[in-house]
Amino acid sequence: SNNCDNVVSLTAVLHSLQTTGAVQYAKLNTFCLDSISPALVADAAAHRISGYVRLFNTFDRKDIKINAIKAALHAGNPVILGLIAPPSFGRAGEFWLPKETPELGAAGHAVTVVAYDDKNSGGSIEVVNSWGKHWGKDGFTWIQYEDVERFVMYGYAIFDNQYSSCLNKVAAGSVRFTTTAGADMPASSSRLGFYRLDKAYPTKTEFTVRVNTEQKMYVYGVYTDASNAVQTFFPWGDNHYSNAIILNKHEFKLPPGDFPFTLEPPSGTNYLCFIFSATPLDIQAMAQQLQAGSGDFSARVKSAFKIRNGGQTVQWKEGMGFSVEYDAEFRIAMVVQLDQK
């Protein structure tokens, strides 16, 4: 573009890295071009990321933001932050010590986290900026945890499926249903990949689901109730928070946030389907295929999501779980029937 001052969203940049890729700086160090050669476009395609995941929300507490950043760094994933950048940010030295309030920030800006230190000034993260070595200390600055909570609005981790073919890796997943009163909601399996909760639950029952995973993967959730309408329940809309699992072992709660699932009328049979995939899926399009399909819910799931999990490599477990030999194309569907009275 001939206007480098145009505003661009952080998610738009990450989406471009996923779909288009990036050219190495040594091959393209000129900015604001009106066009890019086909050769460079082809070169960029060789440097695409597999995906990205939102680590936390603007309103999350300090400990949630910091722990999410730490976990992603420990997993070897780059962390990109979107922060409010008031005038003091341009004057940052070894530390950025803002005196402004976040509401007075003039603009948003993106930086990359390279380190954290719990003992540095009571806890700080180190970031690298894109403004050259004359900014901060050689292009880097430290931000205290308290200021991360106040000024950092968004955090994303870049998600990459890079697995060595020399390693025999096993992926695993499991779910556990619990009422908000703390009671387990056990289930039994009647066939491969299909579980049914052992008893029916009354309308207005509130519950949550704990999801455990081993290996990096994407997790999705769709459901249908007695009305037969199919909807997604994870991720929520366009919120990719924790949809891509970047840790080798991870546990998270559904639904995200402080509110549980609630069984609403009509009574009857509910099906919740959990999809575990090595690659990202167009969950909305697949949910539409699931809605339009024929046959029982499990058969429609296998057709819509192109599931072939009846092979020898999948081991279904008691409770609600599985393990599978990992490859770059694995995709597992687990269906849970919940009867509502």
SS3 200: coil
Looking at the structure, tell me whether residues 155 and 54 fall in a common domain: yes
Asked whether residue 29 is assigned to any structural domain, the reply reads no
The answer to whether residue 165 sits within a structural domain is no
Burial class for 266, CB neighbours closer than 10 Å (0-12, 13-18, 19+): exposed
Judge if 218 and 295 occupy the same domain: yes
User: What mean pLDDT do residues 102-126 have?
Assistant: 89
Residue 1: pLDDT band (50, 70, 90) is very low
Indicate if 321 and 214 belong to the same structural domain: yes
Q: Are residues 151 and 203 in the same domain?
A: no
The answer on 273 and 198 residing in a single domain is yes
- Give the domain range for residue 222: 170-340
- Read off the pLDDT of residues 240-274 as tens digits, 9 standing for 90 and up: 455 677 777 888 899 987 889 999 999 999 999 99
DSSP element (H, E) containing 44? helix 38-45
To the nearest 10°, report the CA torsion of 208, 292, 239, 255.
0
For residues 31-58, average pLDDT = 85
Longest Cα separation, the chain: 67
- What's the pLDDT score for residue 75? 80
Least confident of 104-113, 200-209, 260-269, 329-338: 104-113
Contacts of 196-201 with CB under 8 Å at 24 or more apart are 196/336, 196/337, 196/339, 197/336, 197/337, 197/338, 197/339, 199/339, 200/339, 200/340, 200/341, 201/263, 201/338, 201/339, 201/340, 201/341
71 and 183 in a single domain? The answer is: no
Question: Averaged over 54-65, what is the pLDDT?
Answer: 82
Residue labelled with tokens 């806890």: 123
Query: Which of residues 159, 188, 210 is at a domain's end?
Result: 159
Q: Closest by alpha carbon to 130, among 140, 120, 121?
A: 140
Identify the CATH number of the domain in which residue 56 sits: 3.90.70.10
pLDDT over 90 at 338, yes or no = yes
The reply to whether 187 and 299 lie within a common domain is yes
- Of 140, 159, 178, which one is at a domain's C-terminal end? 159
For 143-161, the pLDDT digits (tens) are 999 999 999 998 999 876 5
For residues 185-219, b (16+ Cβ closer than 10 Å) or e, as one string?
A: bebebeeebbbbbeeebeeebebbbebebbbbbbb
- Domain for residue 35, yes or no? no
What's the total number of domains in the chain?
2
Token readout for 340 is 């509502």
For all residues of the chain together, what is the average pLDDT? 87
Domain boundary residue among 159, 188, 211? 159
Is residue 73 situated within a structural domain? Answer: yes
Lowest mean pLDDT among 5-19, 139-153, 202-216: 5-19
Say if residue 84 is in the same domain as residue 111.
yes
Q: Is residue 57 part of a domain?
A: yes
Q: Is residue 116 part of a domain?
A: yes
Q: Which residue has the tokens 């499991």?
A: 174
In a domain, 38, yes or no: no
Q: Does any domain span residue 127?
A: yes
| Model pLDDT, residue 336 | 97
Instruction: State whether 175 and 135 are in the same domain.
Output: no
Task: Specify the pLDDT at position 125.
Answer: 98
Residue 127 predicted with pLDDT over 50: yes
Same domain for 215 and 290: yes
pTM above 0.75, yes or no: no
Whether residue 303 sits in one domain with residue 207: yes
- Say yes or no: 128 and 82 in one domain: yes
